[in-house]
Structure 1
Amino acid sequence: MTIATRKAGLAGLAVFGVAALLAGCASAPESGGSTDGSNAPVASDFLPCMVSDSGGFDDKSFNELGLAGLTDAAKKLGVKEIHVQSNSDSDYAPNITSLIDQGCNLIVTVGFNLAAATKDAATANPDVNFAIIDDNSITLPNVKPIVFDTAQAAFMGGYAAASYSKTGIVGTFGGMAIPPVTIFMDGYADGVDYYNTQKGKDVKVLGWDVAAQNGTFTGGFAAGTEAKQAAQGLIDQNADVILPVGGPIFLSAAEAIRDASKPIALIGVDADVFVTNPENADLFLTSIMKGMQPGVEAVTTDAAEGKFDNTPFIGTLKNDGVSLAPFHDFESKVDPALQGELDAIKAGIIDGSIKVESPSSPK
């Protein structure tokens, strides 16, 4: 399957494919719902719930996709859902507790930053099932990780950025230096290096050092002054492709680009941001996507049917759990040979002939 040239309808089919795959993942033997006295409720009694991280459910990205998966599942099951938004880290534990008190059967926590609160709550409440997005550190029978090897798709995004760049300088910055963020930055920088090796070029990456595992971070996931300044710093150093990693911080990068009034492209993360943020659609070269919406939907549906287990789902290029979005408005602006090169890179990553490794890749 091509990446840059596929149409929106094919992208939708890819998302459906993730849901179908997840629904078919190996799981524990069915517990039989309420008929055998187990903790698994029948669907009509099932109450799925979610806690956001501090980025909020209107981030046009990470939390919003997770909530869409939860509401899709609730609608399919004919049940209600409850979601609570966290405005700061101190909200995580109280928000989870409030959902337990309301009788939630499955609580989905959105993000690595909720790992400690999720583990504590799951340990104290073994009869409640949990799923956590972007964390694979909890080994409890009632916690299912939903994680993604986004370095694979980010590698392709870095290659595309290097191919597109006219200045020979591309950049990235993140919200916080945590594995779900740095995994994008690792793949991106390695993809640029691969382009340089293949083409004999010297495109530089600003904002992230793979070997040292350090770079530019705003300290949080909110759009605002820090994010705009981080983007502006890259623009001032002549970067003409920028990858902001961390929910709505891309909105501040877009502001900086508008102010700069020169051709600078963005690369989105998590969702196809060309679609989710049409106000800035003209700025997006592509997006590095994770199948969070179908992943949450499938895990929620399985839990309602008594098929919950703690086996992690790991999204990869092979199972369409991660992917690169179409080039959309940039399709006529990229090198005509780029698509074929990306197709070959994808095949190479899948068959192992191209190694993409990040310290943050899920195991």
Structure 2
Amino acid sequence: MTISTTKKLLGVTAAAGLFVALAGCGAAPESTPTSGAPEVDADFKPCIVSDDGGWNDKSFNQSAKAGIERAAAELGVEAGEVESGSANDYAPNLDNLVAEGCTLIISVGFKLSPDTVASALANPDINYAIIDDWADNTGAEDDDGNPIGDGTTDAPNIKPLLFDTVQAAYLGGYASAAWSAASGVNKVGTFGGIPIPPVTIFMDGFVDGVDKYNEDKGASVQTFGWDVAAQEGAFTGGFAPNDTAKQTAQGILDQGVDVILPVGGPIFQSAAAAITDSGEDTVLLGVDADLYETAPEIAPMVFVSILKNIDNAVYDAVMSAASGDFDVTPYVGTLENEGVGLSSFHDFESQLPDGLLDELDALRAAIIDGSLEVTSPSSP
């Protein structure tokens, strides 16, 4: 896999408004350790800080929080959880977690990277992990103003938690093409929040998966919203579910697509609203978490979700730190280690084209054994 020079990965964003809530934020209650859990030091305290999307984003942050709470419950310890309401909260929230005696601090998303590096360098005896980022801030920016990293973590006590979501998105694209071809529409689309690697990696895989379906089936399903070769497409300019996001989604729907993939946390809400307003039977793909479960209000239109199993990565990081085996070697979630994958098709499973599930299983196996190479310029 190629290592992108822009390794800044995604933390889902939403509405701002200062809200520093260290003491509250739903800290996991102390509990009795479960059978088989490692014996932990009395001072072990895992902690986590959200980006400005907050814990109730039904996606990125929420999944991370679930992971630390599961680990804390099994270990019988209390997790420190602090929610950020804006970027101005990141540094003070990290400082507060240090002051609270946290021995492991997990930052949710690339937006916390500079402050996480600064905190880690100032506190070398504390273990850190960061989701979707190498913590390799060089201070440089690309032509779009996005930070450029060099692939080398800037503090020796930070573990990057990364995900090669192009593999799962490829399966999602293939399935979407099959659905649209079966309906006779033969048009699918995608749009993103901002053009950064954790967003575009989904879009790359989605479009490449559609191309694979066309190649295998002699089909002609079109994709709208993203050009893999040019790395250009439709973006909202942020991750808030606002009028701009809805208009961007509507622009894709206006192409006549019957499948749409919004990439960027809460912007799926805007896509769902645009679908509802259209009165069409367009289906929607989720990212990160299974939207059928996290957003039941739109479950009837959720075709499938492209999963980034952040909760499992956070859980594993906490458990390894608790047992004294914390290792800063970057974790990369793949299909093989089940760090990424597809959700169930839920209500749509009985309506899928004949043989599609078997085809997806075969593609998954081929990606895992290396006989089918699926990668992206944004692959970790």
TM-score (norm 2): 0.82
1:306 aligns to 2:324 (yes or no): yes
Matched with 2:244 is 226
3-state DSSP of counterpart to 1:239: coil
Q: Deviations over 1:311-331 (max 9, x none)?
A: 111111111111111111111
Contact 1:196/1:203, CA 8 A, preserved across alignment:
yes
Match of 2:338 among 311, 320, 329: 320
Instruction: Work out the CA distance in 2 between the residues paired with 1:42 and 1:342.
Output: 42
Match of 1:70 among 68, 71, 75: 68
Equivalent residue letter for 2:88: S
1:203 aligns to 2:201 (yes or no): no
Instruction: Work out the CA distance in 2 between the residues paired with 1:187 and 1:94.
Output: 37
Instruction: Work out the CA distance in 1 between the residues paired with 2:187 and 2:243.
Output: 23
Q: Figure out how many residues of one structure are paired with residues of the other and give that number.
A: 322
Percent of residue pairs identical: 57
Contact 2:312/2:339, CA 8 A, preserved across alignment:
no
RMSD (Å) for aligned C-alpha atoms: 1.5
Following superposition, the deviation at residue 89 of structure 1 comes to 2.3
Matched with 2:42 is 44
Instruction: Work out the CA distance in 2 between the residues paired with 1:137 and 1:84.
Output: 20
TM alignment of 1:229-308, pairs within 5 A:
229-308=247-326
Following superposition, the deviation at residue 348 of structure 1 comes to 1.1
Matched with 1:105 is 103
TM alignment of 1:175-214, pairs within 5 A:
175-214=193-232
Q: Deviations over 1:161-193 (max 9, x none)?
A: 111013211111112211111111110011011
Matched with 2:114 is 116
Match of 1:142 among 153, 157, 166: 157
Contact 2:117/2:135, CA 8 A, preserved across alignment:
no
Contact 1:43/1:77, CA 8 A, preserved across alignment:
no
Instruction: Work out the CA distance in 2 between the residues paired with 1:248 and 1:44.
Output: 38
3-state DSSP of counterpart to 1:45: coil
Contact 2:199/2:263, CA 8 A, preserved across alignment:
yes
Instruction: Work out the CA distance in 2 between the residues paired with 1:83 and 1:217.
Output: 31
3-state DSSP of counterpart to 2:241: coil
3-state DSSP of counterpart to 2:203: helix
Instruction: Work out the CA distance in 2 between the residues paired with 1:137 and 1:119.
Output: 6
Structure with greater proportional helix content = 1
Matched with 1:95 is 93
Q: Deviations over 1:203-257 (max 9, x none)?
A: 1111111111121222222222122111111111111111111111111111111
Q: Deviations over 1:79-105 (max 9, x none)?
A: 212212222223222221221122211
Instruction: Work out the CA distance in 2 between the residues paired with 1:43 and 1:264.
Output: 52
Contact 1:168/1:204, CA 8 A, preserved across alignment:
yes
Matched with 1:163 is 178
Q: Deviations over 1:266-325 (max 9, x none)?
A: 001111111111111111111111121121111112112221110111111111111111
Following superposition, the deviation at residue 65 of structure 1 comes to 0.4
Equivalent residue letter for 1:60: K
Matched with 1:358 is 376
Instruction: Work out the CA distance in 2 between the residues paired with 1:316 and 1:229.
Output: 33
Deviates more, 1:279-288 or 1:213-222: 213-222
1:127 aligns to 2:97 (yes or no): no
Contact 1:173/1:215, CA 8 A, preserved across alignment:
yes
TM-score (norm 1): 0.86
Instruction: Work out the CA distance in 1 between the residues paired with 2:232 and 2:119.
Output: 32
Contact 2:284/2:304, CA 8 A, preserved across alignment:
yes
Following superposition, the deviation at residue 136 of structure 1 comes to 2.4
Matched with 2:168 is 153
Instruction: Work out the CA distance in 2 between the residues paired with 1:225 and 1:82.
Output: 35
In structure 1, the gaps of 5 or more residues are: 1-40
